[in-house]
Structure 1
């Protein structure tokens, strides 16, 4: 009997994997990115002008081939997230919604105007609720539909439904509301619990902020590298100290507390998320992890940009294109997928305008996708590299902007951020400031991006990836012995990623820019120990020129 169950379970999983593989192949383009239709089908925002007229949950057994979690697709739209996160041995469950365009509502259609979760009828014992008719659905879900048919009040009508996971889940999208009580499912307690979240009214595009140098000529960038956030609170790795505020270290909570403190202390004008925000193998729902860091920035109204690391989409539930499509829509996000005819997702630049009402750019920040693992492991083992068409795009873009940048009355400066370090980061002959604790896991193939950066006058590039490295290295012209480019590491900030090198303490790097002097100084802040001190304070650019290391650094 046990053997039969295993065979049925294995057969059903193989069929599911085959179907998934077909869907992936069908919807992927030549660069292994989801095509727009596939992205939008996954995304919870749905189509504009749709009204929800019913919600339910379909549960099924993975060992019963006659059981299905797919309701009639002509009637129901399924939110493509297993409420058990594909971690239950025998069960799956999915939220389904019935939706119609507002102009297609009939006299018999009742619009969903509220949802809640609980074991008891929400109207029980509540004064003035005798005539309110809540309708019960599986999983402890209750829905309230309009008393009158064809009522689609834009302020009350629910227009989209989604699911987030874990007791620490947060909602950051405008017009959305998260149900604090999780759905009542019979699941393993280690699986992050699902929470229904709904949107009311129409979806409006969020206005994008324009970064600008402050009136005093200052602009500060905070680089967050390798947050490694999970679905749920995550698991701490190599924490120093092991305990946190007298209790067990919970990775995401401790990481976000660290970041929150620095946001309040340093008040950056822009945050760069330089990859591995999501810890792929512990984040079966990447969206939940993304919202956790986004909430900190949105709440403080701080613009932010992001690129991907090798772990962000490692879980496979939401590819880079899908993640970027989500991030692009979030408040205060300046992130962009970039041109779709070059390799990678997240090749773009951001202009920081000069102070006052100037329309001239004072700073240009380039962000490029360094991909993940080598596509040619036999010849070039390890990690992938920035491709030729990306470098060509960078060169063309930087060259085309130079004429416009010369209109700025001060010295314009260009910076760059990547995730995986360049091969030149491992040059032991170059002077550096800060901790070099582990091997540099740069690609073994050198595609020449460092030379392109120097050619286009980039004064600084900063990466993440190697958590315990947090140095800045000066790259020079060997013949003229002239400083050309600072190459920095941010150091790892997240407790969900490794940190077991010589007592490494989680770190965040800052770039404090003074446009009055065309000066950039950089320093780090630590999570533990000298938490108030600015570590390895170093002027790396002055008068718009790359500077050698300070003698007392």
Structure 2
């Protein structure tokens, strides 16, 4: 499904993250997650739903097909594109990334993926937002699958973004001489979030930054792209801050699922893309 922007209002994104659904039929906590999202979709109009990982507790799911099918069905009520990337918990079970990606076929209105690149079973892609009137490219969204665990003590707990994923980003054919406001989504925060936490301008930090110990250099590539303005992560449920470090916004989504740890009130991140800037804010789900 094509992503279209209109000059009279911002392109609005709903970032959902860290849902942590157990196998269907859902627990009381999971039912609350589903109910809150359904009410949100019924009351608020978005131009894109972006889900940034840990949709399920993979280690609890012998077969997540029914869980994913039921979850994706809640987006059928809206005519809004949906895009997904995955987290470390999604494939802790007996299935791989390719299998869990195949369940995206249950999404009735998937956002059109461009420049897809799969390496080590991790899918990276871009989303192109086009001006409704002129047909010109107005924004690019970059999506990296940050993988899961390194399984190698030399690298620490989490695997870093690979050199191949960075090369993919650097070689994309977008004309960056034309000014745009572009952004990216990822599940596991990159190491520079630990520096960015010193420049928080909104939101909370209540747990350590859960990034890879090895810095593979993605941030350097982002800095070289003058159009890249913000990166959004998930993963750390008690962090939902917004910070600016070296001219790029480092942002955590707001954990959305009730079936997991965390003291921060559950909700979502609302992201508004304008022609020349970007804003974001945490919005908690209503209590009733």
Shift of 1:465: 0.4
Pick one of 125, 136, 143 that aligns with 1:360.
136
1:291 has 2:69 as partner: yes
What's the secondary structure of 1:374's corresponding residue? strand
Segments of 5+ residues of structure 2 without an aligned counterpart are none
Deviation track 1:374-406 (CA, whole Å, cap 9, x = no partner) reads: 2422x2221111000100110111xx2116x83
Q: Identify the residue that residue 369 of structure 1 maps to in structure 2.
A: 145
Q: For residues 155 and 123 of structure 2, what CA distance do their matches in structure 1 show?
A: 24
Q: Identify the residue that residue 34 of structure 2 maps to in structure 1.
A: 256
Shift of 1:373: 0.6
Q: Identify the residue that residue 258 of structure 2 maps to in structure 1.
A: 495
User: Contact 1:327–1:335 at 8 Å: present in 2 too?
Assistant: no
Deviation track 1:80-112 (CA, whole Å, cap 9, x = no partner) reads: xxxxxxxxxxxxxxxxxxxxxxxxxxxxxxxxx
Pick one of 334, 346, 352 that aligns with 2:111.
334
Q: For residues 305 and 261 of structure 1, what CA distance do their matches in structure 2 show?
A: 19
Q: For residues 360 and 396 of structure 1, what CA distance do their matches in structure 2 show?
A: 21
Shift of 1:215: 5.5
Pick one of 457, 460, 467 that aligns with 2:230.
460
Q: For residues 413 and 508 of structure 1, what CA distance do their matches in structure 2 show?
A: 21
What's the secondary structure of 1:447's corresponding residue? coil
Pick one of 393, 400, 412 that aligns with 2:180.
412
Q: Identify the residue that residue 3 of structure 2 maps to in structure 1.
A: 211
Q: Identify the residue that residue 58 of structure 2 maps to in structure 1.
A: 280
What's the secondary structure of 1:453's corresponding residue? helix
Number of residue pairs the alignment of both structures matches: 285
Q: Where in structure 2 are the equivalents of 1:229-248 lying within 5 Å?
A: 229-235=21-27
What's the secondary structure of 2:116's corresponding residue? coil
Deviation track 1:206-258 (CA, whole Å, cap 9, x = no partner) reads: xxx211013624210000101111212444xxxxxxxxxxxxxx122100111
Deviation track 1:420-442 (CA, whole Å, cap 9, x = no partner) reads: 01111122433342110111110
Deviation track 1:431-469 (CA, whole Å, cap 9, x = no partner) reads: 342110111110000111111111113100000000111
Q: Identify the residue that residue 126 of structure 2 maps to in structure 1.
A: 349
State the structure with bigger RCO (CA 8 A, min sep 6), 1 or 2. Answer: 2
Q: For residues 429 and 495 of structure 1, what CA distance do their matches in structure 2 show?
A: 29
Deviates more, 1:256-265 or 1:418-427: 256-265
- Which structure's CA Rg is the greater one? 1
Q: Identify the residue that residue 279 of structure 2 maps to in structure 1.
A: 521
Structure 1 stretches (4+) deviating beyond 6 angstroms? none
Q: Where in structure 2 are the equivalents of 1:504-543 lying within 5 Å?
A: 504-515=264-275, 518-528=276-286
Return closer, same or farther for 1:329/1:259 CA change in 2, 3 Å cut-off: closer
Deviation track 1:312-357 (CA, whole Å, cap 9, x = no partner) reads: 11122x32112212314632113759324x334220001011122x
What's the secondary structure of 1:423's corresponding residue? coil
1:267 has 2:45 as partner: yes
1:401 has 2:174 as partner: yes
Q: Identify the residue that residue 426 of structure 1 maps to in structure 2.
A: 194
User: Contact 2:147–2:159 at 8 Å: present in 1 too?
Assistant: yes
Q: For residues 454 and 234 of structure 1, what CA distance do their matches in structure 2 show?
A: 43
Q: For residues 39 and 88 of structure 2, what CA distance do their matches in structure 1 show?
A: 27
Segments of 5+ residues of structure 1 without an aligned counterpart are 1-208, 236-249, 477-483, 532-553
Shift of 1:510: 0.8
What's the secondary structure of 2:88's corresponding residue? coil
Q: For residues 513 and 339 of structure 1, what CA distance do their matches in structure 2 show?
A: 25
User: Contact 1:505–1:528 at 8 Å: present in 2 too?
Assistant: no
TM-score by length of 2: 0.92
Pick one of 196, 199, 212 that aligns with 1:443.
212
User: Contact 2:98–2:121 at 8 Å: present in 1 too?
Assistant: no
